[in-house]
């Protein structure tokens, strides 16, 4: 959204005036007998707001599963390459829309030149993905963030010398301070789209806090065109968290805004289970609304009166509100379905 240059990944544009894109990474090895379930998962993530998904491409054996997934995926698919440049070329043959290479381990310049030529011939984008844990040799004794920036810029120059500009850059660190510093330095010197993320960020709660701090600050400074919230956990949580960061910053205007009360001694309605069960389903809806799940009938309706739809209750009894007005009284076991039906009416 904030770079001058734009990258094209299949039919998706990153950078320029395009919205900040949400990415995630599949967290298991590719298996030929699981492609159906992976394609289904991608469909769900796309509905929740995910714009592109990355897969580890660890050997040529990954090729057939990757190709099938890339061919059937509703969103662009990225191959994550470490060490072996031939795997990058293999992934390009197998329909990768974008390749991520790590300058810390991709090897000699002639090898990455081969990757760049293959990407150029096939209209594939490349992310220069630096990671503070696997940096190239620091023979000039540079500060880590300077080494990251200098390496990214020298790759960009080499790519441009071959006529390649379909590039995205990322400088990731597990330290939020380094992530902030490296990306600020990069932005001052580079017009290419920047992918943001805090790497090895931890569990869902911890990663969301760290990522919100680092990515939120950078996006507020107009740095970053695509983001990933790396979570030791589910890929759905990565997408939920990334979309919520963008929504909170006002960079994503559409989708369901889910609010729920923290609960207190008055709560008689199991909001925790209800929110857990409803969250993904609500985020998959193509609606621009606010939905509130509240823990008691005493204060819940009042506290949720700004919401388009609200659900609260007493024990097994649930009350569904539309625009602050009581709409229906239903049994707890039907409450979820009744809410979703009411939203879809």
Residue ranges for the known binding site are 261, 264, 296, 303
Q: Does 114 bind ligand SF4 (CB under 6 A)?
A: no
Smallest CA-to-CA distance from 52 within 143, 127, 156, 133 is with 127
Q: Does 267 bind ligand SF4 (CB under 6 A)?
A: yes
Q: Does 317 bind ligand SF4 (CB under 6 A)?
A: no
Choice from 31, 93, 143, 266 touching ligand SF4 (CB under 6 A): 266
Q: Does 303 bind ligand SF4 (CB under 6 A)?
A: yes
Q: Are 268 and 296 in contact (CB under 8 A)?
A: yes
Min separation Cβ 327 and ligand SF4, Å: 18
DSSP 8-state assignment for residue 134: S
Cβ proximity to ligand SF4, 163 vs 262, nearer residue? 262
CA distance 159 to 229: 28
CA distance 183 to 186: 5
Q: Does 261 bind ligand SF4 (CB under 6 A)?
A: yes
Min separation Cβ 237 and ligand SF4, Å: 23
Cβ proximity to ligand SF4, 61 vs 306, nearer residue? 306
CA distance 60 to 90: 7
CA distance 279 to 240: 9
> How far separated are the first and last CA of the chain, in Å rounded?
34
Q: Does 294 bind ligand SF4 (CB under 6 A)?
A: yes
Choice from 12, 204, 299, 332 touching ligand SF4 (CB under 6 A): 299
Choice from 17, 264, 325, 344 touching ligand SF4 (CB under 6 A): 264
**Structure tokens given for 24:** 């995630």
Q: What are the Cα distances from residue 174, in Å, to 178, 194, 198, 222?
A: 8, 17, 5, 21
Could you tell me which residues are annotated as the binding site for [4Fe-4S] cluster? 261, 264, 296, 303
The residues binding ligand SF4 (CB under 6 A) are 261-264, 266-267, 294-296, 298-300, 303
């Amino acid at each position: 959204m904030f770079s001058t240059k734009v990258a094209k990944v299949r039919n998706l544009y990153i950078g320029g005036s395009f919205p900040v894109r949400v990415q995630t990474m599949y967290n298991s090895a590719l298996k030929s007998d699981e492609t159906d379930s992976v394609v289904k998962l991608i469909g769900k993530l796309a509905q929740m707001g995910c714009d592109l998904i990355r897969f580890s491409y660890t050997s040529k054996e990954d090729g057939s599963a990757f190709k099938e997934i890339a061919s059937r995926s509703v969103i662009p698919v990225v191959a994550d390459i470490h060490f072996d440049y031939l795997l990058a070329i293999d992934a390009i043959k197998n329909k990768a829309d974008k390749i991520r290479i790590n300058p810390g381990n991709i090897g000699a310049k002639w090898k990455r030149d081969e990757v760049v030529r293959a990407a150029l011939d096939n209209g594939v984008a490349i992310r220069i993905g630096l990671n503070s844990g696997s940096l190239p040799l620091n023979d000039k004794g540079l500060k880590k963030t300077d080494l990251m920036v200098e390496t990214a810029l020298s790759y960009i120059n080499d790519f441009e010398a071959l006529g390649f500009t379909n590039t995205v850059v990322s400088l990731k660190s597990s330290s939020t301070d380094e992530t902030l510093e490296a990306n600020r330095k990069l932005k001052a010197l580079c017009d290419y789209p920047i992918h943001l993320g805090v790497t090895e960020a931890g569990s869902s709660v911890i990663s969301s806090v760290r990522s919100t701090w680092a990515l939120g600050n950078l996006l507020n400074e107009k740095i970053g065109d695509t983001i990933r919230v790396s979570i030791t956990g589910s890929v759905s949580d990565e997408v939920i968290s990334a979309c919520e960061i963008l929504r909170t910053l006002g960079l994503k205007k559409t989708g369901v805004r889910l609010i729920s009360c923290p609960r207190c001694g008055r709560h008689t309605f199991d909001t925790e289970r209800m929110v857990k069960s409803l969250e993904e389903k609500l985020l998959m809806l193509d609606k621009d609304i606010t939905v509130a799940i509240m823990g008691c009938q005493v204060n819940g309706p009042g506290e949720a009166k700004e919401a388009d739809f609200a659900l609260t209750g007493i024990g097994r009894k649930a009350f569904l509100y539309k625009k602050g007005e009581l709409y229906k009284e239903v049994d707890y076991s039907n409450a979820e379905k009744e809410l979703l039906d009411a939203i879809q009416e």
